[in-house]
Structure 1
Amino acid sequence: MRHLTPALATAGLAALLAVTALPAQALPEHLSDGTSYGTKAPYEPRQNPRTYQQAPAGFVPVFTENVSRHGSRAATDSEDGDLVLALLEKAESANGLTAKGGEFGPKVRALQAAMSGVGYGDLSGRGKQELKATATRLAQRLPGLFTTIAKKKEKIDVVSSGQGRAVESANIYAGALAEKDPDLEPLIGTTRTDVDLLYFHKAAGGKAYRDYIANDQRLATTLETISDQPKTHSTAHSVLKKLFRPAFLATLSTDDQVAAAQAVYNLYAIAPAMREESPGGKGWGLENFISKRDADWFGYLSDAEDFYEKGPGFADSDITYKMADILLDDFFEQVEAKRAGTSDLGAELRFTHAEEIIPLAALMGLPGSTQGATTSKPYTYATNPWRGASVAPLGSNIQWDVYRKGNSYLVRMLYNEKETAFRQGCRPVSKGSKFYDLNELERCFGRTTN
């Protein structure tokens, strides 16, 4: 989430775009676990594997493929901690700290030291555990498939965006499969890089998208309208008054208060991802320095930015997710090659980032990613189900398991390890089933059947 700034749009531009001012938003008292952390929420599987449906009679697994976000990580830089510590030190010299403010500084310094030790932007201990556990559950879910892969000496292809945390996630995931079944180890390829496929927002295919982020006036005005609300200012004051005495707080401008409170929130949001590095592995306790209600508001602002910049966005535009076509095409092409007998792969494993998972979810119409916003009905929690913590938490994943019987191929999709229906208009093999004939999926997604 970017640091909030003073209003960007002129009155003339605002009038031109007719962005409707947001009413004060009433947040639920008890949001679902993880919501206030946005896309920094650590990963948890969303379904008990014992409740998965059985494949129709006679169908056996012959292929699996996924795309996974990297696991929990340290913050990408020290900016938030540096800002907070500088302000705390300034307040301390002016006798402007509350008792909680005095306690907060050592917590932030310790968290900063832990993130520096891990490496800014690199996987934390929790992130490594997430990837290993997800891979282990994959092997447990499809034991027959991996036995067949080993017997037939089929290949397991591993590909990443090339960014450090994605490469490490790929290697940990593949290593967990080999650890569970050593016969797989020689079949697992060295992790390769495909920037166009798994870092498309920065590759050639993302040029129009990058122009949208940099120059679209409707986007800029909408995000400014959402962030620059009285609720943001009052919430920032609520966060900071726990740390700073009134006289010192009065010396900070409204914008400085918002920036400082957002930095406090950002530290709160990343702390669970760094749990394993905390004293005794019991957590950092930063939830004691920001109320749930205040964290929920900043979580909403973070979600709003991700919604408009990466997710469903504006209902009349597909600019935020059209570029994910290359990744969805690859999912289909891998299954189609398996059906055609031109592939020697037993599994295709991909590792990437939120900037790819979020638009793919919107392109596929996955749960929570089906509803865009309009200028007259902007994104709020009350009017839209999109939540970063559900759509793309750290370690989030989309998986297709492929089953065969004779010349028929079925596909079952898991989204964060929950059996998930394909988008509206796709017909399963029977009512209530999570299995879809490949020919039906090709029809539903407008692909030419081979």
Structure 2
Amino acid sequence: MRRLTPALALGLAALLVGTPAAAGTNTGTRNSYGTKATYAPGQNPRSYQRPPAGFTPVFTENVSRHGSRAATDGEDADLVLALRKKAEAAGALTAKGRAFGPKVQALQNAMSTVGYGDLSGRGKREIHDTAVRMQQRLPGLFQRIAGDKEKIDVVSSGQGRAVDSANLYAAALAGTDPALKPLIGPTRTDVDLLYFHKAAGGAAYRDYIANDQRLASTLKSITGQPTTHRAARDVLKKLFKGAFVDRLADDDRVAAATAVYNLYAIAPAMSDESPGGKGWGMERFISKRDAAWFGYLSDAEDFYEKGPGFAGADITYKMADVVLDDFFKKVEAKRAGTGDLGAELRFTHAEEIIPLAALMGLPGSTKGATAEQPYTYADNPWRGASAAPLGSNIQWDVFRKGDTYLVRMLYNEQETAFRTGCRPIAKGSSFYDLDELERCFGRAGSAS
């Protein structure tokens, strides 16, 4: 959700009126965490379809979001602790409010130690384990890569947590077979490819975020619903006495409750750093109902700013074509014999995974919102926790028999059909002929 402006943040801390309060942790539904949901593979590896007879793996490529991380800054915890201090001075803490402060301080200390925005212990494990599972899915491919001395290219957005994820992934692959280590190139940076929302190709998108009045008014109308104000009061009254909460302005109550929610949402990503590794217990301080509502508000913002967005408009995801184009180019080079890669590994952010999913028409990312039917959970399947959890990934595995190349897509390690209109080799199959995918995605003239 949108951050507080520095002026509002200072105002909240300065007044007896506003600064945020507590947070929750791990007993809400997965959707309530939005894109801060931690990673889990989407399918049991024993249930993957086998490639058709005679087809062997010859190439794999992915694009992955970095793993679980600390919050990108300490703003939410600072605001919450400042408001709690004022409530304590006023004798306005509830029993939960008294217990809450030490929890937030400990979480903040842990995030500061990890480094704001950096991978947590859990995030490092997520990336390592995903790499190991890739090798286990495709043992024949990696034996071939080692035997033929093919290269493994590793590329990131250049941002610290993406670079760290790339390096950890590469190291985990090398750990499965030391013969791969000399074949893995140093992690290189490609901002245009993997940080496109901030690169030259994202100029129109940035203008949309900054200046589009329909976007601004839509998000304001969603956030401004009476349910938001009810939920904000409910969150704060668990921590502070009613008279104290009532003295806060409406917008400040929402800002404070949002900070509580943000701490709730990030806490599972920091589970390894919690006392005894048992979690932070932040779910004690926000009800499931209120966490779900603020999770919906967070999802609504991501939906309109990064995902399917408004029906009939592609400003939020058109720029992701650079990544899809790179996927096709790498497979086509393998088919043409002009590439020397056995694997292409890319590491990026939610701002790239979410629009790519919408561009590709992946499950849950196919339906834009209209003025008559704005985004709600009731009528749209998009969920941040499914579209781009921490560590989320899209992978294409390529199989060859003679001159025929088949592609299987995994989305968060679950076999996933390509978009409507793309025909698999047989009904219900997860395998698609490369020529068919080129036709389906309009890559005229690319087929051999």
Equivalent residue for 1:146, pick from 108, 132, 142: 142
- Letter in structure 2 aligned against 1:50: R
Q: Write the distance in 1 (CA, Å) between the matches of 2:29 and 2:422.
A: 31
2:88 is matched with: 92
Equivalent residue for 1:168, pick from 164, 169, 173: 164
Match of 1:252, SS state, is coil
Equivalent residue for 1:240, pick from 236, 247, 258: 236
- Letter in structure 2 aligned against 1:169: S
2:10 is matched with: none
Match of 1:315, SS state, is coil
Deviations along 1:320-351, one digit per CA (max 9) or x if unpaired, are 00000100000000000000000110000000
2:71 corresponds to 1:81? no
* Structure 1 residues 190-201: aligned runs within 5 Å: 190-201=186-197
2:248 is matched with: 252
Deviation, 1:32, is 9.0
* Structure 1 residues 152-231: aligned runs within 5 Å: 152-231=148-227
2:118 corresponds to 1:122? yes
Deviation, 1:33, is 4.0
Deviation, 1:233, is 0.1
Equivalent residue for 1:418, pick from 414, 417, 420: 414
Match of 1:349, SS state, is strand
What TM-score do the two structures reach when normalised by structure 2? 0.94
Deviations along 1:129-149, one digit per CA (max 9) or x if unpaired, are 000000000000000000000
Deviations along 1:143-171, one digit per CA (max 9) or x if unpaired, are 00000000000000000000000000000
Compute the RMSD of aligned alpha carbons: 1.0
1:9 is matched with: none
Contact 2:196 2:352 (8 Å CA) reproduced: yes
Q: Write the distance in 2 (CA, Å) between the matches of 1:38 and 1:148.
A: 39
Contact 2:36 2:389 (8 Å CA) reproduced: yes
Contact 1:362 1:370 (8 Å CA) reproduced: yes
Match of 1:346, SS state, is strand
Give aligned pairs, total: 425
1:60 is matched with: 56
Match of 1:111, SS state, is helix
Q: Write the distance in 2 (CA, Å) between the matches of 1:160 and 1:33.
A: 31
Deviations along 1:369-412, one digit per CA (max 9) or x if unpaired, are 00000111100000100000000000000000000000000000
Equivalent residue for 1:389, pick from 385, 388, 393: 385
Deviations along 1:208-235, one digit per CA (max 9) or x if unpaired, are 0000000000000000000001000000
2:374 is matched with: 378
- Letter in structure 2 aligned against 1:423: R
Match of 1:64, SS state, is strand
2:340 corresponds to 1:340? no
Equivalent residue for 2:327, pick from 324, 331, 356: 331
* Structure 1 residues 429-440: aligned runs within 5 Å: 429-440=425-436
Percent of residue pairs identical: 78
What TM-score do the two structures reach when normalised by structure 1? 0.94
CA distance 1:95–1:107, change in 2 (3 Å): same
Equivalent residue for 2:35, pick from 28, 31, 39: 39
Give the ranges of 4+ consecutive aligned residues of structure 1 lying more than 3 Å apart after TM superposition: none
* Structure 1 residues 226-305: aligned runs within 5 Å: 226-305=222-301
Match of 1:376, SS state, is coil
Match of 1:426, SS state, is coil
Contact 1:47 1:417 (8 Å CA) reproduced: yes
* Structure 1 residues 344-363: aligned runs within 5 Å: 344-363=340-359
Match of 1:159, SS state, is strand
- Letter in structure 2 aligned against 1:41: A
Q: Write the distance in 2 (CA, Å) between the matches of 1:325 and 1:174.
A: 25
Q: Write the distance in 2 (CA, Å) between the matches of 1:3 and 1:161.
A: 23
Q: Write the distance in 2 (CA, Å) between the matches of 1:288 and 1:37.
A: 15
Deviation, 1:34, is 1.2
Contact 2:308 2:365 (8 Å CA) reproduced: yes
Contact 1:3 1:262 (8 Å CA) reproduced: no
Q: Write the distance in 2 (CA, Å) between the matches of 1:204 and 1:380.
A: 32
Q: Write the distance in 2 (CA, Å) between the matches of 1:434 and 1:128.
A: 30
Q: Write the distance in 2 (CA, Å) between the matches of 1:307 and 1:179.
A: 38
Match of 1:343, SS state, is coil
Gaps of 5+ in 1: 6-30
2:308 corresponds to 1:312? yes
- Letter in structure 2 aligned against 1:101: G
Contact 1:4 1:258 (8 Å CA) reproduced: no
Match of 2:302, SS state, is helix
Deviation, 1:3, is 3.7
